[in-house]
Amino acid sequence: MQDILGELVRTRGVGGCLLLNHEGLVIESMLRSDVDAQALAAAVGELLAAIAELSRGMHLGRLASFSSFSEQGGIVLSAAGPAHLLVLCDASANPALLRLELRPFIDRIAERLSL
């Protein structure tokens, strides 16, 4: 999995990534040394629970993708098979282009996790 994440972090605008299960536990990460992967995964786990509750209430189905961007960067959270991929984006990221560029990585992760 490190090979896939290593390629991903070399994508323009990507500042790091985290692969986690639906409970918010780290599967694999490639983050800056000042980012606590466990704490980030726990926070994303809470976000996943909130999104799942909202989706159920609105009859939207399972999460496919969620993103949030600000002046300093943002996040893209995507389902990747039985897991979720969180991508940390820097301010240079083009959100629309990044979503397109993420698709092959998500597919590869999902395939590898299903083996």
Per residue in 1-50, pLDDT (tens digit) is 999 999 999 999 999 999 999 888 999 999 988 999 999 999 999 999 99
Give the model's pLDDT for residue 61: 86
Give the predicted TM-score (pTM) of the model. 0.91
Query: Could you tell me if residue 26 is left (phi over 0), alpha (psi between -120 and 50 degrees) or otherwise beta?
Result: beta
Express each pLDDT in 36-56 by its tens digit.
999 999 999 999 999 889 988
Indicate which CATH number applies to the domain containing 72: 3.30.450.30
- The total of structural domains in the chain comes to 1
With pLDDT > 70 as the criterion, what percentage of the chain qualifies? 99
- What are the structure tokens assigned to 71, written together? 């002046």
Alpha-carbon distance 113 to 104, whole Å? 14
Expressed as residue numbers, the domain containing 94 is 2-114
DSSP class of 23: T
